[in-house]
Amino acid sequence: MNAAIIGAGSWGTALAIVLGPRFENVRLWTHDNATYLPGFQVPDNVETTSSLPHALEQAQIVIGVMPSRFARGLYHEMKPHVRAGMSFVSATKGIEQGTLLRMSQVMRQELDTEEIAVLSGPSFAKEVAQGQPVAIVISSQRRALADALQQTLSGPTLRLYANYDPVGVEMGAALKNVMALAAGVCHGLGLGSNAVAALITRGLAEITRLAVAMGGEARTLAGLAGLGDLVLTCTGDLSRNRSVGIELARGRQLPEIVGSMKMIAEGVETTGAARQLARKFSVDMPITEQMALIIEGKRTPRDAIRDLMERSLKQEA
């Protein structure tokens, strides 16, 4: 069996490294030939290419790992090369600007297929590439597809759990980046562990409320694709979104921060989309609202913390 990985950033490269032994051949598509995981060697059966048709021509499984802003364009380019029997996996964690669609919805629109799954969970690319144990989720409404991909993609260091709630999985994947920005703000302001623990807990409540309103299941957000990914991204030093939040709290301007980064911090664009979705579905998301105001330059990090603490008192559940 052959696979194609579309997107050779750090996560795409890490997947090529860990999944290489699971396939006869893997083609890793890149648009710029940049090295995002320096010092790591991809397996001999992984071929890097800048040609989408070449990447797709022998693939039975195609994994999309591009930044969300490029997803629709790339899937549109891929459409003429889709064949019967191909399965597609979205490993992009974000929401499309404007349409507010999840990545699997964008994939379905452009590729006109139902053979779609999503891959998510707590997984820093560098640790995956190092061969450290990781447990993540493969999710699809097509149960047989999720089960088949679970068997195909799992390996000695990569354990996949099957899930049948892609809405919950994708919303957890996208919105945890918003909370990671906020966690970085807490760290940058010198707030302690109490504040971060509260942020993670209340952040999970926000994510769960919106995901359920959109048709997801609360129990999904209590698992790897929700709580697991949220804890990792809010506390890990390898988190790009957390790093952006830290710099915002230290007074740096967002364009300067983003411009100095080699890789995209998805939470920056996701925050505004999450606020739009919260309003669309009439869901209260105070942390997301304050983070959006910080990103827009309409609220300082310290004022945002004060506003959150001075909100009207509520019951927890």
Residue 304 has a pLDDT of 96
Residue 263 has a pLDDT of 78
Residue 265 has a pLDDT of 82
Residue 305 has a pLDDT of 94
Predicted structure pTM score: 0.94
Superfamily of domain 167-309: N-(1-d-carboxylethyl)-l-norvaline Dehydrogenase; domain 2 (1.10.1040.10)
Q: Which of 292, 283, 287 is nearest to 307 (CA)?
A: 287
Domain regions of the chain by residue span: 2-164, 167-309
Do residues 174 and 93 make contact, with C-beta atoms less than 8 angstroms apart? yes
Can you tell me the distance from the alpha carbon of 154 to that of 152, in angstroms, rounded to the nearest whole number? 6
Residue 224 has a pLDDT of 98
* 3 state DSSP class of 188: helix
Residue 45 has a pLDDT of 96
What residues pair up with 4 in beta bridges, in sequence order? Answer: 27, 62
Residue with tokens 């290419």, as numbered in its chain: 49
Can you tell me the distance from the alpha carbon of 289 to that of 98, in angstroms, rounded to the nearest whole number? 18
Q: Which of 209, 305, 218, 299 is nearest to 254 (CA)?
A: 299
Question: What is the C-alpha end-to-end distance of the chain, expressed in Å?
Answer: 48
Do residues 155 and 18 make contact, with C-beta atoms less than 8 angstroms apart? yes
Can you tell me the distance from the alpha carbon of 45 to that of 277, in angstroms, rounded to the nearest whole number? 42
Can you tell me the distance from the alpha carbon of 214 to that of 97, in angstroms, rounded to the nearest whole number? 17
Q: Which CATH architecture has domain 2-164?
A: 3-Layer(aba) Sandwich (3.40)
Phi and psi of 96, rounded to 5°? -70, 130
* Beta-sheet strands, E only, within 65-106: 87-90
* 3 state DSSP class of 271: helix
Residue 61 has a pLDDT of 98
Residue 310 has a pLDDT of 94
What stretches of 189-260 show up as alpha helix (H) in DSSP?
A: 193-213, 218-221, 229-235, 240-249, 254-259
Q: What angle do CA 196, 201, 204 make, to 5 degrees?
A: 120
Residues with a catalytic annotation lie at 176
Q: What is the DSSP letter of 192?
A: -
Query: What are the pLDDT tens digits along the chain (317 aa)?
Result: 999 999 999 999 999 999 999 999 999 999 887 778 888 999 999 999 999 999 999 999 999 999 999 999 999 999 999 999 999 999 999 999 999 999 999 999 999 999 999 999 999 999 999 999 999 999 999 999 999 999 999 999 999 999 999 999 999 999 999 999 999 999 999 999 999 999 999 999 999 999 999 999 999 999 999 999 999 999 999 999 999 999 999 999 999 998 888 778 898 999 999 999 999 999 999 999 999 999 999 999 999 999 999 999 988 87
